[in-house]
Structure 1
Amino acid sequence: MNAASGGPAGVRQAIVVDELGIAIGVHEAYRLKSAYRPLFSKEGDKLVPIGVKASTVPFTGGKQIAFADFRAGLNPADMSGVIGLCSALGLANYRHVGIDGLDLWVGYHPILNGELSPWLDETVDADDYEVLPRPRRLVCEFDASEEHRQALIGHGGTLREKGFGVAIGVFGSKHLAETEFGLSGPDIVRVEAGWFAQAYQDAATARLLGTVISRLRHRGIRVLVEGIASPGHLRVAHKCGADLFQGDYLAPAALGGTVFELEPLSIRRLLDEPYRVTRHLG
């Protein structure tokens, strides 16, 4: 079976459903499973669950492989079909998160050319969508590459008109300065884990990050800091003024079908707790 066959209409044929009702994508010898990582918003002295970020975990021969390795081996002609399928799987398996009304972040790729709805429309039956847990809003996430920054300029406004949220990853203040924040700009900027790690290690970088976050928030853009793996990481992200938080210290990623028990987290307690990470993915 080939996920790329038939474009958006071929998504249903590329999805099989296991005995637990979990949708799995099929592309040649690969089985594609969904994973979700919780996102938290700062509200007073609490971190409140606000969304989950969907990702795709490829398996072949029963073994998990890195998504980058899987994508590197794709036939270019199959790319749009596979990327569309991955986004569709994120929505199809959201029901298993078991929490209604969270934002659902799905990866966006420029090859989709501003179109995401056709892939998602092929995933969930209308009758089911009315009764199953469903996301409050879909957020299309662009990565930090030049290709994606240019696609944001071209497609961001179109996606927003269709009701999607728009987010983009950034790495460093120079990269941020090169990103357009006009009418087609993002609702959310994601500070990538590598840049945040530098801010955690270097006080000058942390001050710069705080200035950048303040400037973005002044423009009405929310800021997500990812890669929070310890109380120290949380302390720096909180001090820099981040709006949204993500990382293993708060809640690890888990494959679709895992029961999420997401409750508001006390920032004060998290800052006082020893390092704690529970891994759900190998």
Structure 2
Amino acid sequence: MSRSIGLAHIIRHDDGTSSGVWGIYTLQSAFQPIFAFKEGKLSIAAFEGLIRPFRDGEPQSPMTFFSTCPAADRLHVEALTRTLHLLNAGACLPREPSIFVNFDPSVFTERAIADSALRDMRLVLHEAGIDPGRVVCEVTEQRSASQETLHGFVAALKGNGFRIAVDDYGADDSDIKRIKELKPDIVKFDAHWITQLMESGPGFALLTSMVRSFEDQGIRTVFEGIEEGWQLELAERSGASMVQGYVLARPELAPTSFRVFARSEPEPVAAANHAPAPATIVPRTGRPAKAFGRRIAP
């Protein structure tokens, strides 16, 4: 079997984790939990893989790293980051929650490239011991070479048992069109946009209506960038399926401490196109209710 592009740039460590090397950069995986609401409590439903670049041992911003990558290398860098996240997820995360990894549709210019990427992913998942049903492929907002190519690639991802998430949803016409075309399993709401809507009663009502519309279609919702308690309260009241943000947990470099949330008894992995299996339930702290935003209704 041919060696995948991602695996060719991987360094294995004694603790079971891996790092990547690309030019002058060392790449590490960080994971941030995504929590699901359940009976007034929160449980870990998934983790998002986030790349953390280092240069000469000093941390660099992901934006700096990606901006230095020539366009011709972007496909290989994307493969490397996914490979790194999946290997580290297999090594240091609980075995029940889902794993979110990014896909930039602009690099998949033809079907042969997409097929090669899927072959590499299957190889890495086999090595990491991860069922495809746990993997959620986040389709980022970058424009694809053609809609036909994008639709074919998303169909191939679904055909291989992966779930699809649309990232940074903000209810623009282009976002609504993405939802209709890709028919995702999950929609991640843009953090800045949802905060703006939460600041007013009418905005919060609109947000709640959109969440209900998605849930009625069988599409789960994630609110990103939740950094304050009042946002968490309103996210729950809106009916959002899941939440992610610093008020709950910050990203941790692999190896993480998150394995403590694993179930004591193994359970079957959640099937594709079904809700992610939650990990150990984390009790929530009580907070005063608010009508909306930072202002208490008279």
Provide TM-score, normalisation by structure 2: 0.79
Structure 1: distance between partners of 2:3 and 2:246: 34
User: Helix, strand or coil for the counterpart of 1:237?
Assistant: helix
Give 2:70's aligned residue. 75
User: Helix, strand or coil for the counterpart of 2:180?
Assistant: coil
Structure 2: which 5+ runs fail to align?
262-279, 290-298
User: Helix, strand or coil for the counterpart of 1:86?
Assistant: helix
Instruction: Give CA-to-partner distance per residue, 1:45-102, whole Å, 9 cap, x none.
Output: 2211111111111111111111111111111111111101100111100134341121
Structure 1: distance between partners of 2:93 and 2:179: 36
Letter in 2 for 1:177: I
User: Helix, strand or coil for the counterpart of 2:21?
Assistant: strand
- In the alignment, is residue 264 of structure 1 matched against residue 263 of structure 2? no
Structure 2: distance between partners of 1:134 and 1:64: 32
Structure 1: distance between partners of 2:191 and 2:146: 18
Letter in 1 for 2:28: K
- The percentage of counterpart residues that share the same residue type is 25
Give 2:120's aligned residue. 119
Structure 1: distance between partners of 2:83 and 2:95: 18
CA deviation after TM superposition for structure 1 residue 270, in Å:
5.0
Give 1:166's aligned residue. 164
Instruction: Give CA-to-partner distance per residue, 1:94-128, whole Å, 9 cap, x none.
Output: 134341121011111211454443232443665x6
Give 1:279's aligned residue. none
Match of residue 54, structure 2, among 54, 59, 63: 59
Which range is displaced more, 100-109 or 194-203? 194-203
Provide TM-score, normalisation by structure 1: 0.83
Instruction: Give CA-to-partner distance per residue, 1:252-273, whole Å, 9 cap, x none.
Output: 1101102113341334x25369
Letter in 1 for 2:243: F
Is 2:222–2:241's contact at 8 Å kept on the other side of the alignment? yes
Q: In 2 relative to 1, CA 43–31 (structure 1 residues): closer, same or farther, beyond 3 Å?
A: same
Structure 1: which 5+ runs fail to align?
1-6, 274-282
Give 2:214's aligned residue. 216
CA deviation after TM superposition for structure 1 residue 174, in Å:
2.3
Give 2:189's aligned residue. 191
Give 1:20's aligned residue. 15
Q: In 2 relative to 1, CA 62–172 (structure 1 residues): closer, same or farther, beyond 3 Å?
A: same
Letter in 2 for 1:236: L
Give 2:266's aligned residue. none
| Structure 1 residues 93-242: aligned runs within 5 Å | 93-110=88-105, 111-112=107-108, 114-115=114-115, 116-123=117-124, 126=127, 129=129, 137-147=134-144, 150=147, 153-175=151-173, 176-182=175-181, 184-242=182-240
Structure 2: distance between partners of 1:64 and 1:256: 15
Q: In 2 relative to 1, CA 222–264 (structure 1 residues): closer, same or farther, beyond 3 Å?
A: same
Structure 2: distance between partners of 1:149 and 1:197: 32
Higher RCO (C-alpha 8 Å, min separation 6): 2
Q: In 2 relative to 1, CA 20–97 (structure 1 residues): closer, same or farther, beyond 3 Å?
A: closer
Letter in 2 for 1:271: R
CA deviation after TM superposition for structure 1 residue 173, in Å:
2.1
Letter in 1 for 2:249: A
Instruction: Report the RMSD for the aligned CA atoms in angstroms.
Output: 2.6
Structure 2: distance between partners of 1:40 and 1:234: 11
CA deviation after TM superposition for structure 1 residue 148, in Å:
9.6
Is 1:12–1:122's contact at 8 Å kept on the other side of the alignment? no
Is 1:102–1:135's contact at 8 Å kept on the other side of the alignment? no
